[in-house]
Structure formats: structure tokens, C-alpha cells
Amino acid sequence: MSYLVLARKWRPKSFETLVGQDHVVRALSHALATGRLHHAWLFTGTRGVGKTTISRILAKALNCETGVTATPCGVCSACQAIDAGRFVDYVEMDAASNRGVDDMAALLDRAAYAPTQGRYKVYMIDEVHQLTGHAFNAMLKTLEEPPAHMKFILATTDPQKIPVTVLSRCLQFNLKQMPPGHIVDHLSRILEAEQVSFEAGALRYLARGANGSMRDALSLLDQAIAHGAGQVLEQGVRDMLGSVGEDQLFELIDALAAQDLPAMLAVADAMQAKSLSFEAALQALGSLIHKLALVQFAPDAVSDAAEREQLVSRAQAFDPEFLQLAYQIVIHGRDDLGLAPDPYTGFTMTLLRLAAFRPESGEGRPAAAPSGGAPRMRPLPAAASAPTATAPTTTAPVATAPVASAPAPTPANVASPVRSESAAAVSPAPIAVQPATPPAVAASAREVQDERPEPPPPWEDDEPAVAPEPIAPEPMDFAPSAAAEPEPASPPAPQTSEPVAAYAPVPAVAPSAVDPHDWHSLVDAMNLGGLTRQLAHQCELTLIDEASVRLRLPAAHKALLALRSTQDKLQEALGKQLGRSIRLAIEVGTVASETPAQRHQADKERRHADAVASLEADPFVREVIERFDATLIEASVKPL
């Protein structure tokens, strides 16, 4: 006798043995019990969820010799003939191969005759969405008012392609995909009945590979039994499916929590050696990250106690914001896998993104999230970039175009190295755009300029730049007065014959001109770039002596320590600036003072607030707002 595959051998024969479609079974059972039978049913759902199976059970329920019942006997001639596929009054038509109007006309011609053997004629049209438009039109009248002995059952995987005129004439039931737990339980019962030894972990991989289809699960089970020579073992199923094991996924998660990038890449190399599917690995990794996030907010949502215990210990190692970001990185990495040079490259680049990015924790940034509620993200570490372009150093305040409410900058709220007094004291290339002016004279110049109508709004570049020379209404004497004598530490620089470009590079500052205990000035003087500059700006100075420098880095930015070369470059730059060989040590902890990054951000926000206030005080802007009911978009304002 030929072998009968499990998907056919274990096809449900009654509503009681049907798995995972309780909502459909309940509705049909009540209709059969009360006699409220519709003449047309439409079953929708993906492949392998039971559309044809329910159609056959419904046909048996309508034609069972014991009467119309929700529990057909299964032993009468009608039930056995329907199960065997030889019942004359039950017709299954494949609309994919019989899709024309002629095929539909022939079917409807036979519908006029009374049933030959059963109580009802039941026409089951599978993949009904593939019928042509003319075929749909031909069946509309019969579908709306069929003979009393006629029942239609339509099945489709794509209900959107069915005309609404057909949908309105049917009772529609949407069959759900099988949950993995239901698939595992059903496969367990089948294997026990078949007396096949198995491991529970293997069935979970089969359920995951079935993607909600019970028929696919049974087909994979047949393949697994053949692959394992009569046994269903977890390792054999993983090898057969090319799936990534839970141990490998947990290794990735543990390495990610420890910021151990070599360990993450080692897992990727092991997967490549076993020819595992990287797409399936990203899918499984996304599911695991989803479970970790679920455990953080709703631990009871994970029903398996052993699995929940494994997840809880690992979920505590991540911030909720990072898990949300990691989930987005993984699912987008899976989408981009086809664009990568090869799957291994795409997979490892996704791992690098996971290791490189962290949500902004609030240190050095304002606590408020941007519009929309999403947390601000900052790359850690990012590709090395050029140092921020800055304006040349000046030896004295330069008269610039006035800003209505901008206060005079002070060393406490100016983070740019261009405005540092210590840097100005040793600048070898002072600019000649304006004559050097003491603060008192500069204030007088601003008062004169304030009398000019409608000054230009400050929405140019974020970086400080040299403003054009203001046009005074009358000649002014810029000679310093005795009452406003400049400080001896910052003598006026001689005027040069040629102006310097506004974005000239900042020259290095001599070691003797910088206080080694002033970390902000020390960082500005070193003129760092790339990751080294980011690392220095995020640290605070905790100890400095003749042989060592100790810094403290916030825990949110500890990924900057992943590359040893970055610390080596910072140590070398510090040694050159201090003029001696030093040993750099960086610890991770809570900073107690303001870091250069925080000072720069605070200054940037202050200048932005001043620019917004200046615009709001502008007469023209006020007139536009009042006359046209306009709104000033503060995010679009850029200070000078």
C-alpha cells in the first residue's frame, strides 16, 4: 500500500478535530443546530489554514444520513463518499484552471437539477478570485437566489480581488493563521499516534518554519522524519531548515549587552560556516528583541515560564529605548539584505549598527524629545568626520550686526574655541576685518546700530562667523578710553594687511598658554577631530598630575570606548598639549560637572532662544503674524 502523507492522513474529519478556527466552528455549528443556513459562504485566509477542510466538513454536515447536524457521523455512505472525494453532489472546482465564463455557465446549468444522492448540492469553488469578470457576472443571479437544494462555498487567499457584488451575497469568514503553540500541540499528538520519537525543541522550529500554515507544518514534519531516519531531533531540524538556534541568538544578545563586537562577529562567522540563512537569522533576532521588549513592559505576556526566565535576565541589560531602536535596525537590515553585496556583509553591517547606535539618554542634550515623541538618536561610534569649521580667533571683541536680545558672550556660556580668551592670547593670525574695539566702545556701537530700522533677522549658519562691517550713520572714534582699558591678558593684536577667510582652521595653541586643569580650554586647544573629538567632548576631567590624566565618561556614551585607537589618539594629543608623556585612564560613571558637549549644547540653545526672541520682537514679523494670523516656526530659526 502506498504511503499517505501526514497532511492528508491527519486532515480533520469533524469540527471537533479542527485546530485553531474556533470562531468559524462556533458560527457554523450554531447555524447547523438552529437551521439558519445561508446559501453561500466565503472562506478567506492564507494557504494551509483549513478552507477546503471546513468545506468538506460542512458538506458532510449538510448531507449526513443522520440529518443536518453539526456533528456528522463520519460512517454513513454520504460522509465516507465525501471524505473519499467521490460524492456526486459535492463538486470542488478549481477556479485557477476553470476561470472562464463557459466553465461557470456549465456549472450553473447543472445546478438546476435536484441532487442525485444527497440532501443538498454543494459547489465548492477554490481560489475564486481567479475567475474572470464575465464569470463573476454570470454567477451573480444564481448566487443571489439559488435553488433550495443548492449551496455555494467559495474559498480564496486574496479576497480583495473579489467584486463587492459577490461579497455582499456571501457570509464571509476570515480563517486565522495557526498560532505556533497550536501547531506544536497538534504535531505532538500526531507523532505520539504515529509512535515517532521527537524533541519538543524540534517542533518549535517546525512551527516557526510553517508561518501559520498547518499543512506546511505537516509537510515539514514529513521531511523531518525522513531527514532524521524516523526521529525528529532538534539539531536535525535546525540543519534541515537552516535555522539559527536559540543558543546563537542568545550569544548575539549577550555580546550586544556587553558591547563585545568581536563576539558578535564570531557568531556571524559560525553561521556562515554552517551555511545558515542570514535572512532567517534576522527574522529570529527581531522576534527575540520583540520578546525582550515585551518582557520589560508586560512579563506575563510570555506564557512559557522557562522562556520568560531567560528573557527577564537579559531584558534588564538594555534600556527600553535601545530595544525599540534595535528592533528597527534589525527589520530594516532584513529589508536591505537583498541590496547588500552578499548576505554575510548585510548581516554583519546590521550587527555593526546594533553596536554603534544608542538612544540619547539626556546627558549633553535637553530632556525633551523632539516633536512626535520619538527619542533623539546619536551614532556611537560614527565615521570619522572633519573638525567643525570655526571662525578665526580674534584678540578683541568685533563690532557685529546687532541682535535685539542677545546678551554679550561670556566664557561660561560660550563653548566654541574661537571665543576662548586663552586661545585668543596666543593666536598667530588675528583677523583684520574690524579694528580692535574695547567692550565699552563696542556697546556704544551697538546702541547706535539699534537706532537703525529693521535689522536683518539672525537665521544664517549655526556657527559663529565674522559679520560684515556695520555702516554707522556718522564717523565714530573707536579709540579706547581710559575707563574701558582692555585686560592685560588680552592685548589688542596688530592689524594685518590682508583679511583671513571666515572658516580658516583653528591653529594649535601653545601648551604654556592653556591651564591644564581647565578641561574645556584644553579640549579646544587640542583641535581634535572625528571620534577622538567626540570622546573628549563627552568626558569630564577628574584628576591630572605629572604622569597621568583621568577622565570620566557617562554610561550612555560608553560605546565610544569600543575602539582602543580612539583612546590612544586622545592620549597622544594630551601628551603633546601638556608637553610631557602621560598615561590616560577613562572610567565610566556619572559626571559631576559640565562636559564640553553639554556646554556647547547649552550655548547653542541660548543663541537659538535669543534669535527666536529677536524675530518675535521684529516689527515686520509682528505685523505679519497679526495681519495674516501667521505662526513663527521656531525649529526653522538658525542663530548667527
3-state secondary structure string, 225-259?
HHHCCCEECHHHHHHHHCCCCHHHHHHHHHHHHCC
State how far the Cα of 31 lies from the Cα of 239, in Å rounded to an integer.
47
Residue keyed to cell 443522520 = 66
Q: What would be the CATH architecture of the domain defined by 246-359?
A: Up-down Bundle (1.20)
* Cβ-based neighbours of 335, under 8 Å, separated by 6 or more: none
On whether the CB atoms of residues 22 and 30 are closer than 8 A, the answer is no
All cell numbers assigned to 262: 568581536
| Region at 352 (left for phi over 0; alpha for psi -120 to 50; beta for the rest) | alpha
State how far the Cα of 207 lies from the Cα of 60, in Å rounded to an integer.
30
Residue 399: C-alpha distances to residues 112, 150, 441, 453, 582 (Å)? 99, 95, 9, 18, 42
Q: For the chain (length 640 residues), average pLDDT per consecutive 10?
A: 83 89 92 91 92 93 92 91 90 88 88 88 92 91 90 93 92 91 92 90 87 90 91 87 81 90 91 86 91 86 75 86 92 92 93 83 39 39 40 40 42 39 39 42 44 47 45 45 44 43 43 73 86 89 88 88 86 88 90 89 90 89 86 84
CA Rg value for the chain: 38
On whether the CB atoms of residues 533 and 387 are closer than 8 A, the answer is yes
All cell numbers assigned to 191: 507523532
State how far the Cα of 126 lies from the Cα of 129, in Å rounded to an integer.
9
On whether the CB atoms of residues 434 and 469 are closer than 8 A, the answer is yes
| Dihedrals phi, psi of 276, to nearest 5 degrees | -80, 155
24: Cα within 13 Å, side-chain hemisphere: 27
On whether the CB atoms of residues 50 and 217 are closer than 8 A, the answer is no
Q: What would be the CATH architecture of the domain defined by 6-174?
A: 3-Layer(aba) Sandwich (3.40)
* Cβ-based neighbours of 432, under 8 Å, separated by 6 or more: 495, 496, 497, 498, 499, 500
- Residue 510 is predicted with a pLDDT of 52
Helix axes 234-241, 200-210, angle to 10 degrees: 20
Q: What is the domain partition of the chain in residue ranges?
A: 6-174, 180-241, 246-359, 378-480+502-640
State how far the Cα of 23 lies from the Cα of 25, in Å rounded to an integer.
6
Pure H helices in 177-316 = 180-194, 200-210, 214-227, 234-241, 246-257, 261-273, 278-297, 305-315
State how far the Cα of 51 lies from the Cα of 49, in Å rounded to an integer.
6
Cβ atoms < 10 Å from Cβ of 617: 11
* Cα end-to-end distance, the chain, whole Å: 88
CATH number of 378-480+502-640: 3.30.300.150
Cβ atoms < 10 Å from Cβ of 22: 11
- Mapped onto helix, strand or coil, the DSSP state of residue 588 is strand
Residue 369: C-alpha distances to residues 62, 300, 366 (Å)? 62, 30, 8
The bridge status of strand 540-544 relative to strand 548-553 is: antiparallel
Nearest CA-CA partner of 91 in 117, 132, 121: 121
**pTM for this prediction:** 0.51
State how far the Cα of 569 lies from the Cα of 479, in Å rounded to an integer.
46
State how far the Cα of 183 lies from the Cα of 20, in Å rounded to an integer.
9
Residue keyed to cell 560605546 = 559
On whether the CB atoms of residues 499 and 433 are closer than 8 A, the answer is yes
All cell numbers assigned to 343: 548576505
Helix (H) or strand (E) run with residue 421 in it: helix 421-425
On whether the CB atoms of residues 237 and 224 are closer than 8 A, the answer is yes
Nearest CA-CA partner of 504 in 401, 403, 617, 418: 418
- Residue 629 is predicted with a pLDDT of 82
| Dihedrals phi, psi of 57, to nearest 5 degrees | -65, -40
Q: What would be the CATH architecture of the domain defined by 180-241?
A: Orthogonal Bundle (1.10)
Residue 405: C-alpha distances to residues 78, 415, 458, 614, 639 (Å)? 92, 19, 11, 6, 12
- Residue 399 is predicted with a pLDDT of 39
512: Cα within 13 Å, side-chain hemisphere: 1
State how far the Cα of 339 lies from the Cα of 272, in Å rounded to an integer.
18
